[in-house]
Amino acid sequence: MKKISIIVSCYNEEEAIPLFYKELINNLSKMELNYEIIFIDDGSKDKTLEVIQTLRKEDKNIRYISFSRNFGKEAAMIAGLEAVTGDYITFMDADLQDPPALIPVMYNYLKKGYDCVGTRRVTRKGEPKIRSFFARMFYKIINKLSKVEMVDGARDFRLINRRMADAILSMKEYNRYSKGIFSFVGFKTKWLEYENIERVAGKSKWNFWKLFKYAIEGIVGYSTFPLVVSAFIGLFFCLISFIMIIIIVLKTLLYGDPVSGWPSMMCAIFLVGGIQLFVMGVMGSYLSKTYLETKKRPIYIVRLTEEDES
Ligand code: UDP
Ligand code: MG
């Protein structure tokens, strides 16, 4: 019998986990598959780990990895993927925003020959208007800038087969941006759409500023276009200054050189200085990614797993 592995990233989800587990088991029992559920405790500060350990006493198909501190959801996802042994693998949130009822549906598509079934939200109900607006803008921009296609509203909730899992594991980068990684590896993907669901308990770990930084991360990670733009801005200003030099030389030769034009000079200095700093900032953000990448730091550090028991 084939096996399905469920990877659940959890950060302060003590209230949500029992509800999630019940709902998940209800759906898994309908499928003729062995299963393993691996909870990744991403350095939670509440009783998340204890809750998972209690569940494991009842169900030995539950495994867990507990991080030494909070490393972020991306780290949790890759830690889970490295640990699981299933033929089919799915990533889920613990807050029931990813409905377990979809798993059997997704599995049917894999049997039909797809390698991956992804989910996307078609509505952003229950989300602040301003956030939806910026999210849409982000997808417009990134899809113009980047060669890999990122689907608007795509969630991390996916079911993939072993082939695709191995492809993802072969991407060893430190700066992980899973939306980009999934589309980079390609494979035949089926998209399922559903309405946004509010989380059952606890609260979202995202705020506007975090999402903004995440968006920049995506752009820097999956497009070098800002660097090209920087070079063009530089070239454009060289051209302007070249024309200005000719005009000024001619003017001086023809009309002499009365000292004037201080305001316009200051404007030019500020403008060019500002552009230089901006372009350096763009270059710096790529450099900093390279810097982190060359350090080869671990993406996550494990403090405890179910193998440490007994
Ligand atoms: N999460 C995590 N590490 C973090 C932040 C979040 O593992 O540093 C988990 C969290 O427990 C949840 C999932 O990632 O299961 C999605 O987080 P959340 O529900 O806060 O995001 P949202 O659904 O609001 O986008
Ligand atoms: Mg959520």
Give CA–CA dist 21/27, Å, rounded. Answer: 10
Determine the distance separating the centroid of ligand 1 and the alpha carbon of 189, expressed in angstroms: 24
Q: Which of 11, 39, 68 for a ligand 1 pocket mutation test, highest count of atoms within 8 Å of Cβ?
A: 11
| Ligand 1 contacts CB of residue 13 (under 6 A) | yes
Q: Between β-strands 88-93 and 3-10, what pairing exists: parallel, antiparallel or unpaired? A: parallel
Q: Which of 65, 67, 95, 134 for a ligand 1 pocket mutation test, highest count of atoms within 8 Å of Cβ?
A: 95
Each residue's pLDDT, cut to its tens digit, for the chain (310 residues) gives 899 999 999 999 888 899 999 999 999 888 888 999 999 999 999 999 999 999 999 888 999 999 999 998 999 999 999 999 999 999 999 988 888 989 999 999 998 999 999 998 877 776 778 878 888 888 888 888 887 788 887 888 999 999 999 999 998 888 888 888 888 898 999 988 887 777 777 777 778 888 888 888 888 888 888 888 888 888 888 888 888 888 888 888 888 766 777 777 877 887 888 788 888 888 888 898 888 888 888 999 999 998 887 6
Determine the distance separating the centroid of ligand 1 and the alpha carbon of 9, expressed in angstroms: 7
Give CA–CA dist 74/175, Å, rounded. Answer: 9
Minimum-distance ligand 1 atom for the alpha carbon of 13: 11
212 Cβ neighbours under 8 A, 6+ residues apart: 134
Give CA–CA dist 276/194, Å, rounded. Answer: 45
| Ligand 1 contacts CB of residue 205 (under 6 A) | yes
Determine the distance separating the centroid of ligand 2 and the alpha carbon of 155, expressed in angstroms: 10
Give CA–CA dist 231/60, Å, rounded. Answer: 57
